[in-house]
């Protein structure tokens, strides 16, 4: 049985633009700095980035993440407004405050190395650190950013490794069997598992904080305009789009609902692309899907409740666990089917639960959400989480809602199981050529001229 996962392992409030390339490397760098702080300050630190972290790292702000992490910052604690001036100071002065305590010479041009085309065998998102001491001693560490901001590597300890869950499951079939046997909804089962980690009220508070952060990213996104950073000259569209929708007046026809849902996802992922505050759900590249579906539920579903939103999030978490356990949510391993595809599947199952679907209907909705994202590649132009990533979230949100209602119009019986589609996603990801898996070496990334 793999280590127990918690809802806090799946959702993280952090910064953009990427969970695997920004959040994960920042955590790894901070972990390395914190681990060495008790040994005394080194005289030099070198970081080497490998695989996808090297190939798309500059577009994904991996270099920024490493500088902040070595300076002692974590994604959920740094104010996004402070990031640019902090990094500018480090690059100008060629010095950083190691672990937040000791001033250390650090020249990003010579001490932060992008090993282009080199891959570590364990994972395509690898980074290595070396710290040099006055007495000649050298401390080294290797980390891997495995998706959704999670890291593995030297000295990283899973918070959940020793927790025994009352309703452990590793497959969709097992999840359905336990729910039927004990007459539980998927959300109820998940809440009882979370009770093994912390009091119920703390779990509810966490879910409410995740919801609030998701909706805040929508609210901020629809108020911003201008050009996104990175050099592609991509203009923010959410502000103009919301103004056009508001100008139509209060009467909403069915087609406008889809426009509003697309707007919600667009706003979040524009915030993510700008390095703003978002929730990994389950990744930053797919951060707009779940917030858009939650906003749809709370805005357009009659008699929506806060408990319904918690049910949506907890059910989506169960589905996310199945992907993390049996495949991957890393685009560097699976392509975008592992990010927007998984988010679509999670959101579809979660919305089906909030609308009163049975466990079988929820499983069907989640399966539909992934089945029609199979083979989705990750080919960001310029290595930026902008094109096609931003619009792709709008499509994922719309697909999730469609999948929900398709499933609710059935009785839960269907040909392809969720387990089968997860295994198919895993096999497809393994068969997918590397150039289509977050390396910007194929697809749109090479067939569209950067401007």
C-alpha torsion sign, points 175, 181, 187, 192: negative
Q: What is the pLDDT of residue 450?
A: 54
Domains and CATH numbers, the chain: 16-152 (3.30.1330.90), 172-196+198-436 (1.10.4100)
- The b/e string for 213-224 (b: 16+ C-beta within 10 A; e otherwise) is bbbbbbebbbee
Give pLDDT tens digits for 188-207: 999 999 999 999 999 999 99
DSSP string of 95-123?
A: EEEETTTEEEE--HHHHEEE-TT---SS-
Query: What value does the mean pLDDT take over residues 42-62?
Result: 96
409 pLDDT tier (thresholds 50, 70, 90): very high
CB atoms within 10 A of CB 375: 16
Place 158 in a pLDDT band, splitting at 50, 70 and 90.
Answer: low
pLDDT (tens digit per residue) in 100-114: 999 999 999 999 999
- CA–CA gap between residue 315 and residue 308 (Å, rounded): 10
Is 150 strand, coil or helix?
strand
pLDDT on residue 157? 65
- Cα–Cα distances in Å, from 437 out to 62, 133, 137, 381, 394? 17, 38, 38, 13, 20
Better-predicted residue by pLDDT, 252 or 429 = 429
Residue 53 CA to residue 62 CA, distance in Å, equals: 7
Q: Is the pLDDT of residue 159 over 60?
A: no
pLDDT of residue 254: 83
Cα separation values, 368 from 172, 209, 291, 341, Å: 14, 29, 19, 10
Greatest alpha-carbon pair distance for the chain in Å reads 73
Flag whether the pTM goes above 0.85: yes
| Residue 94 CB-density burial (10 A; 0-12 exposed, 13-18 middle, 19+ buried) | middle
Q: What is the predicted pLDDT for the residue at 1?
A: 65
Six-digit token string for 217: 């990213």
In this structure, the chain runs to a length of 451
Q: Is the peptide bond before 278 cis (omega within 30 degrees of 0)?
A: no
How many of the other CB atoms lie within 10 Å of CB of 255? Answer: 7
List CB contacts of 380: < 8 A, sequence separation 6 or more: 56, 59, 386, 387, 388, 389, 438, 440, 444, 445
**For 360-398, what is each residue's pLDDT tens digit?**
999 999 999 999 999 999 999 999 999 999 999 999 999
pLDDT tens-place string over residues 430-443: 999 999 999 999 99
| pLDDT (0 to 100) of residue 161 | 55
Is residue 44 classed as helix, strand or coil in its secondary structure? strand
């Amino acid at each position: 049985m793999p280590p127990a996962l918690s809802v806090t392992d799946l959702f993280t409030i952090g910064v953009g633009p990427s969970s695997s390339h920004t959040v994960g490397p920042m955590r790894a760098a901070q972990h390395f700095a914190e681990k060495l702080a008790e040994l005394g300050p080194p005289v030099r630190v070198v970081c080497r980035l490998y695989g996808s972290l090297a190939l798309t790292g500059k577009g994904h702000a991996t270099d920024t993440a490493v500088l902040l992490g070595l300076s002692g910052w974590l994604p959920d604690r740094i104010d996004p407004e402070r990031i640019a001036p902090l990094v500018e100071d480090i690059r100008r002065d060629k010095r950083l405050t190691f672990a937040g305590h000791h001033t250390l010479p650090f020249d990003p041009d010579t001490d932060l190395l992008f090993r282009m085309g080199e891959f570590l065998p364990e994972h395509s998102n690898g980074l290595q650190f070396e710290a040099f001491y006055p007495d000649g001693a050298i401390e080294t560490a290797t980390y891997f950013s495995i998706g959704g901001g999670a890291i593995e590597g030297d000295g990283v300890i899973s918070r959940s490794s020793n927790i025994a869950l009352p309703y452990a499951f590793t497959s969709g079939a097992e999840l359905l069997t336990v729910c039927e046997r004990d007459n539980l909804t998927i959300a109820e089962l998940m809440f009882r598992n979370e009770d093994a980690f912390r009091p119920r009220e703390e779990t509810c508070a966490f879910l409410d904080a995740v919801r609030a952060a998701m909706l805040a990213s929508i609210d901020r996104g629809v108020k911003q305009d201008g050009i996104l950073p990175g050099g592609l000259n991509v203009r923010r569209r959410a502000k103009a789009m919301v103004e056009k929708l508001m100008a139509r007046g209060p009467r909403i026809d069915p087609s406008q609902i889809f426009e509003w849902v697309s707007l919600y996802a667009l706003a979040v992922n524009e915030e993510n692309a700008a390095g703003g505050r978002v929730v990994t759900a389950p990744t930053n590249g797919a951060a707009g899907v779940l917030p858009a579906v939650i906003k749809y539920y709370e805005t357009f579903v009659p008699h929506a409740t806060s408990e319904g939103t918690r049910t949506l999030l907890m059910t989506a978490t169960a589905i996310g666990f199945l992907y993390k356990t049996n495949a991957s949510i890393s685009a560097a391993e699976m392509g975008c089917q592992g990010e927007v595809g998984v988010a679509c599947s999670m959101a579809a199952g979660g919305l089906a639960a909030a609308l009163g679907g049975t466990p079988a209907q929820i499983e069907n909705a989640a399966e539909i959400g992934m089945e029609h994202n199979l083979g989705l590649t990750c080919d960001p132009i310029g290595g930026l989480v902008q094109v096609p990533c931003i619009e792709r979230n709008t499509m994922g949100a719309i697909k999730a809602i469609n999948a929900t209602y398709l499933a609710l119009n059935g009785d839960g019986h269907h040909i392809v199981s969720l387990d089968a589609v997860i295994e198919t996603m895993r096999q497809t990801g393994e068969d997918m050529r590397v150039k289509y898996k977050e390396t910007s070496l194929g697809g749109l990334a090479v067939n569209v001229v950067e401007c």
